[in-house]
Structure 1
Amino acid sequence: MQFMSDNAAAVHPQVWAALLAADAPDAPYDGDALSARLDAAFAEVFGRPCWVLWVASGTAANCLALSTMVPPQAAAVCHRLAHIERDEGGAPGFFTHGAKLLLAEGDGAKLTPAGIAAVIDPIKRGVHWVQPAAVSITQATELGRVYTPAEVTEIGLMAQGRRLWLHMDGARFANAVAFLGCEPAAVSCNAGVHALSFGCIKNGGMSAEAIVFFDEGLAEIAGYRRKRAGHLQSKGRFLAAQILAMLEGKLWLENAMAANEAAAIVSHGAADRLLEPVEGNQLFLRMSTQERAKLREQGFAFYDQGADGARFVTAWDSQREHCQALAEAIAAL
């Protein structure tokens, strides 16, 4: 019973159907008819012009976006638990040719204007000190917390006042929107975000992520850098097909709602074990080594969270009976 990661979930049947339909001759790279539809498709989602590039991984999406914002001699501010800091294998520095990450604090792995200021205010102006160029926030965060539109807007206004770009790692953006029940734009472009990594793989896709730019100049730079980084695939229509399938009929939101609902079922057995509120499809529970062993003996797969915790992640295809069984097993510990 799989609760390790939503990356382990199955590919949604509509995505498979879209891949099969795309298996016909068309122009190579991003010159195909499907890739040409991405800008308009995302403009409909966000209610404003968008410039969209497909890539094959979340790492590439995050780091290519940041590379357009942060020159080698500069820095991006992120939370100390951010995926780009702890789980990208040094990729941000590789894609930006050496730019630095400045690590900030914040409850629930969420940044705040005060937390950002605490990092950048002590930096002196001048060539001897690395200057901040961007802020990167994760929606939902590495601890499963969700930024509200007001919280993103506060950061966006601060970034604007400091002349900083704002990037959003949206590997679980769909789960956040499903939790908030808001328009996607309210928690992204309308709140000051310049580029969004729109996650698909964790949400029913196979091998495609979208970088959604709300600034045409950044998108133009990213196009060249995608090629230079080896991410301009020759049969790009297969990536575009997956992304368009996720947008069709709001499948991206439907899948996220299913994953969130599955997490809510599991949470019913957690009681006072929860280390963080459940605001998406991730659960963080206080749990001893012995208790974790008992769950694994019953067939539940999940990751440890430090020495005394566990992380459970649900997905669009999580089976209700598995979620209920996990909730009962946790309650029985």
Structure 2
Amino acid sequence: MRLCATGRPVRRIWTVELRPQPGGPVMLCPHCPPASGALHSEAAARPAVVAHLAGHARRDALPVHLRTCQCQERGCPWHPRHRGCSGRIALVLTRESGGRLWRLADACTACAQATAHSAVVPEAASGPALELPRRCESRQKKRRNRGTAPSPVVRIREMLSYLAAALPPEVVADARLLAVQCALRATGSGQLMLPVGLLRGMRMAQQQGPWQALEKAGWLVRLPRPHPPTDICRIAAQLLDATVLTQAPGRAGRTQAAHAALRLTSHPALRELSASEQLVGLTLATHSCPNTIKGVIEAERIGRVCAVPPDGLAATLDRLVTAQAARSWSYDLGSEDITWSLGHVLADWSNHPLPHHDVPSG
């Protein structure tokens, strides 16, 4: 007897084109009716594009065990040849043609790393769930999250990867460090109340440049304080795409990851370094191989994540060695990879990103 599958196949690759028009770019999606109006600028279009693609991903949700690498399914046309598909399947956001074409698709870790101008998008917990009695629901959620929630190191690494694709290349390191804190500390709706004391610890309490860079990129907008101000010790902001990209399970876990990132960049060995050097140090610590002090990453990729030009990367890595944040580093001309060994500062942090008393009990 022949079985007949009548269900609609779930699409796991979506694209959006930004087509230039006199009044501003128009967003075109092959799966949706044409947009009714133009977007004012390319920077303003970025959040709209990401939100649109994420809407497709939510509507076409698929259990993790049924998802496949869409790049491999098409013969891996999105990147140069590499050693083969491997690693977990994740949603990967890719920007092509100078930002005119955006793609969101399932891809394996190997393909995601080999694809230029791409980033892994932090995802919400998805998949079928049992209908539970109300009194048992919260207990079951805690048990489920305890075993599946990503570690602070993984959360920071994925957020750095996302910001590499979501922010324009001209957004410099101090704005990216601020964006990491904003994205990890925001609510599910993208609202943010950032303490001034935290900004003082980051040495950004009196700086307007990082905020202005993120606003210019269309990534967030600062909110005016009420009159009279009810809380003068906090800065309010709205992340324009936070409802899509800060939904990794558990806001408490994301906040702990933000604390961990701040703890590393505030360490005495890194505190006196520049924002660019702190960001590279954070990237090395979060991209090292698990349970080791060594790591390897493409030079182009680390430059893109940290907004460091190629001619400045070597000097930045040398200063991290001088500060004992890294023991050594080398560059392979053949593979164009950067290989490093962590110094005791980054090695201790990568093994214990949070102090013992900050680790959740359940």
Q: TM-score, with normalisation over the residues of structure 1?
A: 0.28
Larger radius of gyration: 2
**Which protein has greater RCO, CA pairs closer than 8 Å, 6+ apart?**
1
